[in-house]
Structure 1
Amino acid sequence: METVAVTPAMAFDRKNYSDETLLHLYKELLLPRMIEEKMLILLRQGKVSKWFSGIGQEAIAVGLTCALHSDEYILPLHRNLGVFTARQMPLARLFTQWQGKLSGFTKGRDRSFHFGANEFHIVGMISHLGPQMSVADGIALANVLRKEPKVTAVFSGDGGSSEGEFHEAINVAAVWDLPVIFLVENNGYGLSTPSSEQFRCKQFIDKGIGYGIEAVQVDGNNILEVYDTISKLAESMRENPRPILLEAMTFRMRGHEEASGTKYVPKELFEIWEKKDPVNNYEQYLLQEKVLDAAKIEAFRAEIKHAIEAGLETAAAESMPTASADTELTDMYRPFTPEIVAPKSEAKSERRFIDAISDGLRQSMERYPEMVIMGQDVAEYGGVFKITEGFVSQFGKARVRNTPLCESAIVGAGLGLSIKGYKSVVEMQFADFVTCGFNQIVNNLAKTHYRWGQNADVVVRMPTGAGTAAGPFHSQSNEAWFFHTPGLKIVYPSNPYDAKGLLCAAIEDPNPVMYFEHKLLYRSIADQIPADYYTLPIGKAALVSEGSDISIITYGMGVHWAKEIMSQMPDVSADILDLRSLLPWDKEAVAATVRKTGRVLVAHEDTLTGGIGGEIAAWIAENCFQMLDAPVLREGGLDTAVPFAPPLEAVFLPKQRIREKIEQLLAY
């Protein structure tokens, strides 16, 4: 084969690396380039639907992957094919992944590099770009907790660095001394937007001082510089855990993805960077060093071409997946059949709602040594509601962790901990603040098991509800936001017994659980509950009172309103069904009470429009219509924000309207 001579546009320094190492890097660099060239052909032939080309940037992915140990996690982006190939992923399986076939890493459920594989210690991206940086924090935190001298590396683009998660993740890693390499591929563009319209700093290493961390810049097209720099950084970080910001200067020679083209890029930029091609330049260097010759190049290319064609042949022989609704629904969650734990003794004590939650957390920490609590002020201060007061003295600050004000990063870190087999409980100081972590919950925690079989063993505690004159940003009932998200579970207890048993069950469950706890109940109710650890079944409602005239289906504070109202209406006999769990919710119990009374009111504190009551009412109308003696009625909070002044808040809350709906239903 005749090689193309390219005048080196960069200086290579082999240092003390052997010929064997230099050739290994060459082969690993050549493989993704040849796969990419083949993919571009298949794209034009319609055999793959989309392609994000990393041509021109291969040295970064390959150099980093070869520099790290094979059991150290890497979290790549679209254009980091070299990470996957250097980790020796079977080509046939990569090809089936890109074609949406069953033997791919996502069973056809997601595309390109949107997947992970613990076997290869890789966690792929989601389209939102930034969240994987926080997941890297969680993986690194697990390594630190286990005293494992390992490094985690995560990719970001210059465009993705504009996202808030970039700041949150680096800041958390800096504060916690997490051994994460935050690698920014600076290729000058975020899709078509040039860097001058993305940020004002001249280089990303200037950001290091702001976070109090080291920052290093490398020529991202120089495979030896990337490999050597990262090898040394990683060795140092294993001995002295800390984050490092690594900026790799590079350029992508094709569009953001093939359909977008490159018309927005000045032609002279392509001319400059073509001379810095990482494959051609390194090949020319090895020829000059007499480490490589034309015969070896020919042999390497023939070997790689054969492997690509064999992988494609295997992938082509596999048919597209056969759809099964049952399988799809089942795979949203990690399979889990809980064994309900009864208390070991009959000992009981009077515990307030808040005490029951604290007890459940403490006993779960004792039960699961690899469980971590994270949140703002949860350590020495004990949280704003003092639920974790005293936990630091018992479990230590490694497991009871104060966090910066960065809900998204901490939820993402919870997913990272899950990847390493940890459980985590993340406290939102108020349920209202979950908006700052919304993307991680609904797009990462909820979808990860469905996409590539990795569960998110995370409980998000949500102090919720109105009645304390706390205004629009500390009083919302926002459970309906998550009710619409497959992959999550939602628990909403109304009493101390359920609060403890369901919290312990939520922590035991390997799936992500949103655990709502009404603030007004914290210190206003108490009950005799088991002193020992116990669990209750998630997804099972409880019949609080029995009657025959009407069914009131509710949860949380609604249970207490319903009981109070019915105590004032002695001539009315009512079933009060406390749902306790909202996702999944107990359809059998709902059907049973509808069958019994024929008159149904669904009530909740959350605003009426789009609330959970609407779904339950619709299900009753669709499945229990013949059992009804009257229309299904709903009641909820006003369709406004939650006001501050107590008289306004009282009008917002549905308590009085619930009584009016009961009277309306009985009169029908």
Structure 2
Amino acid sequence: MNYKREGISDAQLVELYRLLLKPRLIEEKMLLLLRQGKISKWFSGIGQEAIAVGVTSALNDDEYILPMHRNLGVFTTRKIPLKKLFAQWQGKLSGFTKGRDRSFHFGTQEYHIIGMISHLGPQLGVADGIALGNLLKNNKKITAVFSGEGGTSEGDFHEALNIASVWNLPVLFCVENNGYGLSTPSIEQFKNPDVADKGIGYGMESHIVDGNNVLEVYNLMNDLISDLRENPRPILLEFKTFRMRGHEEASGTKYVPKELQEEWAKKDPIDNYFNFLLKENLISEETNEAFKSEIKKEIDDHLKIAFDESVVESTIEKELNDVYKESEIEYIKPSDKKKNLRLIDAISQGLKQGMQKHEDLVIMGQDIAEYGGVFKITEGFVEEFGKERVRNTPICESGIIETAYGLSINGIKSVVELQFSDFVSSGFNPVVNLLAKSFYRWGQTANIVLRMPCGADVGAGPFHSQTNEAWFTKVPGLKVVYPAFPQDAKGLLASAIEDPNPVLFFEHKALYRSLRQDVSENYFALPFGKAALIKEGNEVTVVSYGLGVHWALDELNKSTVNADLIDLRTLYPLDIETIITSVKKTGRVIILQEDSLFGGVSSDIAATISEQCFSYLDAPVKRCASLETPIPFAKNLEDIYLAKNRFSETLEELLLY
């Protein structure tokens, strides 16, 4: 192995060896504890230490690095106290996730390390967001993110590289090519043997690096980073390496040919580097033993602290309170000065005023810049706020939602427009597994609004008409808002922007230009979890949201039915108290939703009413919803599908019971 000093001092050379040795000795101890049944699982990085140590050593401590579960050297090089790492792995309270997640599934702002989730690929898009934040701040900081070669088969890899390339983001994409994705050899993952060649397709600079040579890694990183600070751009780095253990210990290494294992054993990054230092008279066997003794003592001392810590305890209240960051929103009252606006104009005005108030707020989405978005909500925004803050995106919902999360990690708010709410399915994973779980797992807010143009009754067919709020009301950690009127839309959008938690903001397309209302001209916020009582009566309670509110309103206005009509406005948090109060008064209730029936929001509301108001009911709880079919295109078929054409009959059945 050819080691080149390239101006590195003797002390630095020796320090790199200590940094390599530490994760190796920790791993050897973990493998022993695993066999003793004292830890539950271990993903070994033995044989790959030079990559994590070399990359991390070249970065500044305040630059974000996004490692994987085989990058223990990242954490030790950043000098995280071992007792905290051990507590994390044992599920103790003093770990980084309070026992709520395991292994390296955590982040820490203190050490500027952002750990992955098990889906791996989203990590790359998160790095894009952090790097975008650095670019907007012009702080000349670099972001490094890790992936295995198996992860390059995921769509998230391609989306992240494309975004980074198009936006010239200062990201180092570090791919550790150890030849196997669990047991699947690389030749069964991709045809070309070199991951670095993938950079060509994105117009991206790439390098192949000997990942077992710590000096080659360190020197190249130093050269690239100094250039990237002045000329920001993404770079793809392929580190050729090998892991000497299984994917995780239970899987073993029987699938690896013996000759290949022996060949790579000769390239051990620690043994070879030690021999180089020995030959250069920079270290001795005695010094090496002293290093090992010192590190082993640190390991044992910190393990004792972690083992002595009691088993994690909590309460139901504490666990529930940690799902969302507490919102400290200033609820500015709506002004008396109003202007008659369509729903679409109220949303546009609210978004513009949010951009004016928050000078770092970024909005992203397909065609939202010069074109103004397909619904023209952001028309004229580029002229006022510039293309740095009003960003056209490639067609990659998953990558852009991940980028928004990275921006939040870097302290920047964002609003992402999903061109149609239907398309969020292409970004479902980061919504439910990154955004929703982030604060509960490690206290990191996902300060993001996802705008969701939705709904049928517009003749748009199966892929542009869904109202898919029920996909997300099931997921703890998300807030779901669904206004039915322009005034509410504007005020609730302001709250969504101010809220530090992830908010899905549903906007019904059929109401965009068909509905007008006098809307307060100031920037005001309306609280989540407060339903609106649209009509008052004592015969029946009608509960709905979105377009369903207007279906119910039309029916009640042309009938003699004396009803409470409740517009939910937000689906999570849900104002169940207003519903219960009304049902106890009327004794009858019908819940109207545009979505199909099974598994919808109305089902949970109905169950809650049955549990809490059973003795007050004079009739069964009724639900009225659209058919259990995809949404058809032809108008007469769509009319058959939609619940609005069955509401009158269902309401009458309830009243006659």
TM-score interval for Structure 1 and Structure 2 normalised by the shorter chain: over 0.9
Q: Judge conservation of contact 2:535–2:565 (CA < 8 Å) in 1.
A: yes
Normalised by the length of structure 2, the TM-score is 0.99
Deviation of 1:41 (Å): 0.5
From 535, 542, 547, the equivalent of 1:552 is 542
Stretches (4+) displaced over 6 A: none
- In the alignment, the residues of structure 2 paired with residue 630 and residue 576 of structure 1 have an alpha-carbon distance, to the nearest angstrom, of 18
Which residue of 617, 626, 645 maps to 2:606? 617
- The question of 1:359 aligning with 2:349 is answered yes
Question: Deviation of residue 205 (structure 1)?
Answer: 1.2
- Name the counterpart of 1:3: none
The one-character-per-residue Cα deviations of 1:206-261 (angstroms, maximum 9, x if unpaired) are 11111001001100000000011111111111110000000000001001111111
Q: Does 1:93 align with 2:84?
A: yes
Question: Residue type of the partner of 2:489?
Answer: A
In 2, the alpha carbon distance for the partners of 1:368 and 1:456 equals 16
Following TM superposition, by how much is the alpha carbon of 1:299 offset from its aligned partner in structure 2, in angstroms? 1.4
d(CA) in 2 for partners of 1:364, 1:492: 18
Which residue of structure 2 lines up, in the alignment, with residue 596 of structure 1?
585
The residue type equivalent to 1:643 in the other structure is: P
Secondary structure (helix, strand or coil) at the match of 1:120 reads coil
Superposition deviation, residue 346 in structure 1: 2.5
Q: How does 1:125-136 map to 2 (within 5 A)?
A: 125-136=116-127
2:40 is paired with a residue whose SS is: coil
Listed as ranges, the matches of 1:123-522 within 5 Å are 123-343=114-334, 345-522=335-512
CA separation in 2, counterparts of 1:274 and 1:82?
19
Instruction: Give the drift of 1:134.
Output: 0.4
Of residues 526, 530, 534 in structure 1, which corresponds to 2:520?
530
For 2:59 and 2:510, the matched residues in 1 are separated by: 51
How many angstroms apart in 2 are the aligned matches of 1:103 and 1:652?
54
Per the alignment, residue 5 of structure 1 pairs with: none
Letter in 1 for 2:618: D
TM-superposed CA distance for 1:666, in Å, is 0.2
Task: State the shift of 1:324 in Å.
Answer: 1.2
Please give the alpha-carbon distance, in whole angstroms, between the structure 2 residues aligned to 1:518 and 1:138.
29
Alignment partner of 2:206: what SS? strand
Deviations 1:489-514 (A, max 9, x none): 00000000000000010010000000
**2:195 is aligned with what amino acid?**
F
Q: Kindly provide the CA deviation profile for residues 59-117 of structure 1, in whole angstroms up to 9, marking residues without a partner as x.
A: 00010000111111000001000000000000000000000000000000001000000
Amino acid at match of 1:630: A
* Mapped contact 2:484–2:546 kept (Cα < 8 A): yes
Corresponding letter in the other structure for 1:483: T
**Equivalent in the alignment of 1:76:** 67
Offset at residue 656 of structure 1 (A): 1.7
Structure 2 counterpart of 1:129, one-letter code: L
Once the 2 structures are TM-superposed, how far is the Cα of residue 323 of structure 1 from its aligned partner?
3.1
Q: CA deviation at 1:204?
A: 1.1
Deviations 1:185-213 (A, max 9, x none): 00001111111110001201111111001
For 2:383 and 2:373, how far apart are their aligned partners in 1?
Answer: 14
Q: Which residue of 2 aligns with 1:6?
A: none
Question: Which residue is equivalent to 1:118?
Answer: 109
Structure 1 alignment gaps of length 5 or more:
1-9
Counterpart amino acid of 1:223? V
Q: 2:36 is matched with which residue? A: 45
1:650 to 636, 639, 652: 639
Deviation for aligned residue 1:45 = 1.0
Q: Distance in 1 between matches of 2:314 and 2:646?
A: 46
**CA distance in 1 between partners of 2:483 and 2:228 (Å):** 45
Distance 1:624 1:48 in 2: 48
Secondary structure at the counterpart of residue 355 of structure 2? helix
How far apart, CA to CA, are the structure 1 residues paired with 2:93 and 2:649? 54
Provide the C-alpha distance between the structure 1 equivalents of 2:225 and 2:6, rounded to a whole number of angstroms: 18
User: Which residue identity lines up with residue 559 of structure 2 in the other structure?
Assistant: M
- Confirm or deny that 1:106 pairs with 2:103: no
Amino acid at match of 2:303: L
For structure 2, the residue ranges without an aligned partner over 5 or more in a row are none
Distance in 2 (CA, whole Å) between partners of 1:49 and 1:219 is 32
What does residue 639 of structure 1 align with? Answer: 628
Bigger mean CA deviation after superposition, 269-278 or 332-341: 332-341
Matching residue of 1:540? 530
In the superposition, the TM-score normalised over structure 1's length comes to 0.98
In 2, distance between residues paired with 1:342 and 1:47?
Answer: 57
Once the two structures are TM-superposed, the CA of residue 340 in structure 1 deviates from its matched residue by 1.1
For 1:577-632, what per-residue CA distance to the aligned partner results, in whole angstroms no more than 9, with x for missing partners?
00000011001111111111110001100111110100000011011111111100
Query: For residue 566 of structure 1, what is the aligned residue in structure 2?
Result: 556
Cα distance in 1, alignment partners of residues 133 and 329 from structure 2 = 25
Q: What amino acid does structure 1 have at the position aligned with 2:635?
A: P
Q: Distance in 2 between matches of 1:93 and 1:665?
A: 60
The match for 2:45 is: 54
Counterpart of 1:214, as a letter, is E
Tell me the SS of whatever aligns to 1:215.
strand
Q: Distance in 2 between matches of 1:291 and 1:228?
A: 19
Task: Quote the Cα distance in structure 2 between the aligned partners of 1:350 and 1:528.
Answer: 4
Tell whether the 8 Å contact from 2:482 to 2:545 is kept in structure 1 after alignment.
yes
Shift of 1:339: 2.6
Deviation at 1:567, TM superposition (A): 1.4
Equivalents in 2 of 1:78, 1:644: separation in Å?
47
- Structure 2 residue aligned with 1:31: 22
Query: Could you say what secondary structure the match of 1:340 adopts?
Result: coil
| Shift of residue 46, structure 1, vs aligned partner | 1.1
Q: In structure 1, what residue type is equivalent to 2:357?
A: R
Native 8 Å contact 2:186 2:193 kept in 1: no
Please state how far the C-alpha of 1:161 moved relative to its aligned partner. Answer: 0.6
Letter in 1 for 2:608: W
Q: Percent identity at matched positions?
A: 61
Q: Give the residue type in structure 2 aligned to 1:227.
A: Y
Q: Which amino acid letter does the alignment assign opposite residue 260 of structure 1? A: S
Q: Secondary structure at the match of 1:28?
A: helix
Give the match's secondary structure for 1:460: strand
* Alpha-carbon offset, residue 667 of structure 1: 0.2
Output the CA distance in 2 between the equivalents of 1:262 and 1:545: 69
Across the two proteins, how many residue pairs are aligned to each other? Answer: 657
Task: Give distance in 2, aligned partners of 1:165 and 1:382.
Answer: 27
1:302 to partner: Cα distance? 1.1
For 1:359 and 1:201, locate their aligned partners in 2 and report how far apart those are by CA, in whole Å: 50
Residue 311 of structure 1: CA displacement?
0.6
CA distance in 2, matches of 1:663, 1:556: 22
Q: Secondary structure at the match of 2:110?
A: helix
